[in-house]
Amino acid sequence: MRELFKSNVAGKASRALLNASRIILSNKYILAGFIIVLVFVLMAILADFIAPYSPIEIVGPVLQPPSQKYLMGTDNLGRDVFSRTIYGSRVVLLTTAIAIALSGAIGTLLGLISGYIGGALDRVFSFIMDSIYAFPSLILAIALSVALGPSPINAAIAIAVVYIPTYFRMVRGQVLSIKNEPYIEIARALGIPSTRIVTRHILPHVGRTLMVVFSMNSADAILTEAALSFIGLTVQPPQPDWGFDLYKGRGFILTGYWWMMVFPGFCITLLAVGFALMSEGVSTVISGRKR
Amino acid sequence: MDIVSKLVDVTMDFETRIFGRKRRVRAVDRVSLEVRRGEIYGLVGESGSGKSTIGRISIRLYKPTKGRVFYGKLDITELPESKLRYLRREMQLIPQDPYGAINPIQTIGEALVEPLLIHYKLSKDEAVEQAHRALEEVGLHPSTEFFTRRPRELSGGQLQRAVIARAMILKPKYIVADEPTSNLDASIRTSIIKLLLDLREKYEQSLLFITHDIALLSLIANRIGVLYLAQLFEEGPTEKIVKNPLHPYTKALLSAIPLLSDELGLEKVYLKGEIGDPSNPPRGCRLHPRCPYAMDKCKTEEPPLIMVNEGRSVKCWLYYNS
Amino acid sequence: MSTLEVKDLWVKYYTFSGIVSAVSGVSFNLRKGEMLAVVGESGSGKSTLGLALLNMVPKPGKIVKGEVLLGGVNVLKLTPEEIRKIRGSRLSMVFQDPFTTLDPLRKIVDQFEEFLLEHGFDKSKSRSIVKEYLEAVGLPERIMYSYPHQLSGGQKQRVSIAMAIALNPEVIIADEPTTALDVVVQKQIMDLIDYIKGKYGSSIILITHDLALALERADTVMVMYGGYIMEYADKKELLNNMKHPYTKALFEALPRITTRILPKSLPGYPPDLRSPPQGCIFHPRCEYATEECRLKRPEMIEVGKGHFVACHLYR
């Protein structure tokens, strides 16, 4: 009897962790993707310990090819590309993480409210969201980023805005279908307040699809972030940044200095692939479960 | 005569938008009825007749498009949700499908405790204890076994008992039972009905029993109302309705009951065709395309609700002038 | 020779939570033009039985034993090609839920025609046949050009029936054909089925939970519980001479309008078919259960002409 109400935080957290690990280990794609992403996350966290040099200091002669001393060579200013690559993961991951968290939270919240309340409010929100959704995401992100001013936070906000409609539409759609379930009607008949109905009775059902959208969204967001940083709308030099380094490396690749472009580019691709693998796996698992 | 729930000239319209085209369905058309204290009022009709909608209007889950709804003497038509919340303790709904009635992610225990904690200042332990008692009261014994289970782990009959337990946990006085046994096996049906009747006696409740099964109502209802395509076609004490049905539709309902209709010894009436489209009902009397007694008048003019002594009324031209 | 002979049919579902014995040792014969009602509640195995007769039991179900002889040929042993030819033409099924039969994206006439063409009908004649059979089931011609969602439940069911009889099958299996419909429409559909039985000489297997419906319409009634046959008899014989406690309980559960007493209820719940009770599958709910009932499964005993019961009371 008492076990039912041991709904303390520790219990919930450990159960969530258990569920998460079960999902991760259940599917090859998820596992592979997760490992890739994990490697980059660790890279970001442990950058201070892994990177041999500081990413912004000039540590050697310019334009050295990869060697034992400079594993990925040096760039046109004499900075270690390897260290820059390692530290560059921080910006990418942080910006993307903030963007996804923002769009997920806001999109879900608005979707819940709009879907449940319906009526004129819903029509207005849907219209706004559809309009944003109709815009090509990259162009919108660039426009917003420019308008807000180049900085990692602003880039995160810009990306977030672009993806809010994705979460909104999905959550709203689910709310609309769940709203008609008998148990929601009975909840009202029992006098359960709307806020509780939405949070305790509707939101948990949305969680599953939310996971799928979440993972698909991450893959997208990584690439959008890379695009923004390519244009220089995230961090400013001399901060290390994959996208911007990629941009800088363009001028040198034709003259044979490939290492400034290839390594950051490879990392962007690999990270995006990691997220894409996870999203593939998650949607397979979730749709398999639904049956 | 004490009245628990009253609908006065209630009309309910639903609007649906399909591909930009608006369609208006009048699910309930100027229906008035009242449920008296302590009685079981049986509302019978086919699907599409509007009976479920009426049930929900009477406990204000829907707000009627026109007309007024009363709980006791209180006009609850325009009452905002915040004020309605207190009344929710007194009026409850038992739905048709037990499997949809409890959120699948909740355990039975959680489902029962939730309304208690919302409405009363109880400690969790007190609420849990009351929930256990409620489970025992509906025959789910031992309650500890059912408390931690989820809806899908229970059989239909068991789950409906749990749903009833939850409906009763706030000690309501007025229950709307919407086809509570239609989805259950025949061998279980009676025990659920018995449970409802026992609880009704114990807690002195009044019941609006909605069903398509008029045979069942003949056994348990005090009065019966017959609904067809959003209109009330006939109303009266059960015995009179069953032994001497007036409206051709009532006669057809009774005639169609397999095997048992012979016992009644009534003249059999058969309808052709089907119930018709609620968004575009027939002109005049809504039954006229199917009615074997249809006269010219029936095709163009809608009959009024005619009082035919002792609390009986019929909506049919056959009884005009009598 | 009987039109359909079912011999010792066993169907099991191999699920994650256990093996469910859905149909256990069912045998019966069906004559030409006979309507057999298979009566049972949920979990009785009646629907699985219907599907098994067409060899359409879905995974994880499997027909583990038995024969279904249509005109002497075992349906269960046919190749997929052969069985496709039989389904619809010699053995057809009307489902409870017309959605299973009707494609929501295509007009009625197109679906019906395709069905006829698949079974070798001439394209030039197929459209008139569609019209003929829709008329036979009481539907106006304009229905042909509608989509399923434009039709009511009763109309959809009639279309399913029209398709089921168009090829004049020897056996029509109707699985709860009227459960989703209102009692007045139910009567119309059952009248239609009666008419078909009379005019075309089809044998009908009516699967239903409604004992009253069975007793009113069928020639023979077979009562199932937990996958086993409890009682099997001619309708009149059953009405006058009901033997099995379960059949009696079902009968007593029918509301009797003329008295105002609630019908008797059966205590307990349907059995868990993954771990069914030992002995007679009905014994946990039976008021006459003895020690023998708890231990030994009863055999089918003939207690009257063509009247069989599986119950130790009648040894």
| pLDDT above 90 (res B138) | yes
pLDDT digits (tens, 9 = 90+) for B52-72: 999 999 999 999 999 999 999
What pLDDT does residue A1 have?
38
pLDDT range class, residue A11, cuts 50, 70, 90: low
Identify whether C177 is preceded by a cis peptide bond (ω within 30 of 0). Answer: no
pLDDT value of position C173? 93
At C113-152, the pLDDT tens digits run 888 888 778 888 888 888 888 887 878 777 888 888 778 7
Q: What is the pLDDT of residues C278-306, one digit of tens each?
A: 899 999 999 898 899 999 999 999 998 89
Nearest to C50 by CA among C31, C72, C28, C33: C28
B97 touching A (Cβ < 8 Å): yes
Instruction: Say which amino acid occupies B70.
Output: F
Judged by CB atoms closer than 8 Å, whether chains meet at B253 and C217 is answered as: no
| Assigned token pair, B113 | 């405790």
Q: Is C13 a residue whose pLDDT tops 80? A: yes
DSSP letter for B106, please: S
Strand C35-39: give its sheet, edge to edge: C91-94, C171-175, C203-208, C35-39, C220-225, C228-234, C307-310, C300-304
Whether a cis peptide bond, with omega within 30° of 0, leads into C80 is no
Q: How close, in Å, is residue C160 to chain B by CA atoms?
A: 17
Which of B15, B61, B84, B103 to substitute to test the interface with A, most A CBs within 10 Å?
Answer: B103
CA distance A280 to chain B (A): 26
Please report which confidence band the pLDDT of residue B129 belongs to, taking 50, 70 and 90 as the band edges.
very high
With a pLDDT cut of 90, the percent of chain B lying above it is 63
Residue given tokens 């939570």 in the structure block: C17
Q: What angle do CA A279, A282, A286 make, to 5 degrees?
A: 140
The residue whose two tokens read 């059966």 is C266
Average pLDDT over residues A240-266: 84
CB contact under 8 A, A189 and B97: no
| Chain C residues with beta carbon closer than 8 angstroms to that of B270 | 187
pLDDT of residue A2: 41
- Quick count: other Cβ atoms within 10 Å of Cβ B125? 11
Share the mean pLDDT of chain C: 87
- Average pLDDT of the residues in B283-287: 92
Quick check: B296 pLDDT over 50?
A: yes
Contacts of C189 in chain B (CB under 8 A): none
Using CA atoms, how far residue C270 sits from A150, C45, C310, in Å, is 69, 12, 18
Subunit contact B157:C253, Cβ cutoff 8 A: no
Using CA coordinates, name the residue in chain B closest to A3. B148
Chain B residues within 8 angstroms (CB to CB) of chain C: 46-47, 155-158, 185-191, 193-194, 197, 212-213, 215-216, 218-220, 242, 252-253, 256-260, 263-264, 270-272, 274-275
Computed on alpha carbons and rounded to an integer, the radius of gyration of chain C in Å comes to 20
C41 three-state secondary structure: coil
User: What pLDDT was estimated at residue C39?
Assistant: 95
| Chains adjacent to C (≥3 CB pairs closer than 8 angstroms) | B
Compute φ and ψ for B155, nearest 5 degrees: -75, 170
Percent of chain C surpassing pLDDT 90: 36
* 3-state DSSP percent of chain A in helix, strand and coil, to 5: 80, 0, 20
As given in the structure block, the two tokens for residue A153 are 């936070």
Tell me if residue A126 falls in helix, strand or coil: helix
Non-local (6+) Cβ contacts of C129 within 8 A are: C116, C121, C166
Which residue in A5, A182, A189 is closest to B100 by CB distance? A182
CB atoms inside a 10 Å sphere around CB A288: 10
User: C224 pLDDT band (50/70/90 cuts)?
Assistant: very high
> What number is the average pLDDT over the span B13-28?
80
Cβ(A92)–Cβ(A222) below 8 Å = yes
C-alpha closest to that of C86 among C162, C172, C148? C172
Q: Which residue of B has its CA nearest to C137?
A: B273
Kindly tell me if the per-residue pLDDT of B246 is higher than 70: yes
Residue position matching structure tokens 């409010």: A121
Residue A4 confidence class, pLDDT cut points 50, 70, 90: very low
pLDDT, one tens digit per residue, over C144-185 is: 888 887 787 778 888 888 888 888 889 999 998 887 677 787
Model pLDDT, residue A209? 82
Smallest Cβ–Cβ distance between B101 and the set A186, A188, A193 belongs to A186
A153 touches A161 (CB < 8 A): no
Confidence of residue C259 (pLDDT cuts 50, 70, 90): low
Percent of chain C with pLDDT over 70: 97
Q: Do A218 and A273 contact (CB within 8 A), yes or no?
A: no
The confidence score (pLDDT) of residue A283 equals: 81
Rounded Cα gap, residues B2 and A271, in angstroms: 73
Query: Residue C260: its pLDDT value, please?
Result: 67
Task: Pick from A7, A186, A289 the residue to mutate for testing the B interface (most B CBs within 10 Å).
Answer: A186
- Decide: C and A in contact? Rule: 3+ Cβ pairs under 8 Å: no
Query: For residues A64 and A76, what is the distance between their CA atoms, to the nearest angstrom?
Result: 9
Which pLDDT value is given to residue B19? 63
Contact residues for C274 (Cβ-Cβ < 8 A; gap 6+)? C15, C17, C18, C19, C20
Q: Tell me, what's the pLDDT at C67?
A: 93
Q: How far is CA B265 from the centre of its chain?
A: 28
**Has residue A7 got a pLDDT over 70?**
no
Q: pLDDT tens across C65-101, in order?
A: 999 999 888 999 888 888 888 888 889 888 877 666 7
Determine the 3-state secondary structure of C47 from DSSP: helix
Higher pLDDT, A254 or B9: B9
Residues of A in contact with B170 (CB under 8 A): 190
d(CA C36, CA C231): 13
Cα three-residue angle A141-A144-A145, rounded to 5 degrees: 80
A neighbours by CB contacts (3+ pairs under 8 Å)? B
- Residue pLDDT, tens place only, B165-187: 999 999 999 999 999 988 888 77
pLDDT of C270 over the 60 cut: yes
Output the average pLDDT for chain A.
85
Question: Tens digits of per-residue pLDDT, C16-42?
Answer: 888 999 999 999 999 999 999 999 988
- Chains C and B lie in contact, requiring 3 or more CB pairs less than 8 Å apart: yes
Q: Is the pLDDT of residue B148 over 60?
A: yes
The DSSP-derived string for C197-227 is HHHH--EEEEEES-HHHHHHH-SEEEEEETT
User: Which other chains touch chain B, taking contact as 3+ CB pairs less than 8 Å apart?
Assistant: A, C
- Angle (CA) C206 C208 C210, round 5°: 125
Please indicate whether, in this complex, the C-beta atoms of B101 and A192 are within 8 angstroms of each other.
no
Choose among A271, A266, A227, A219: nearest CA to A247.
Answer: A227
Is a pLDDT exceeding 90 seen at residue B207? yes
Among A58-67, A74-83, B87-96, C128-137, the range of highest mean pLDDT: B87-96
User: Is the Cβ–Cβ distance between B140 and B87 less than 8 Å?
Assistant: no
How large is the ipTM? Answer: 0.84
Token pair in block for residue A248: 């800088």
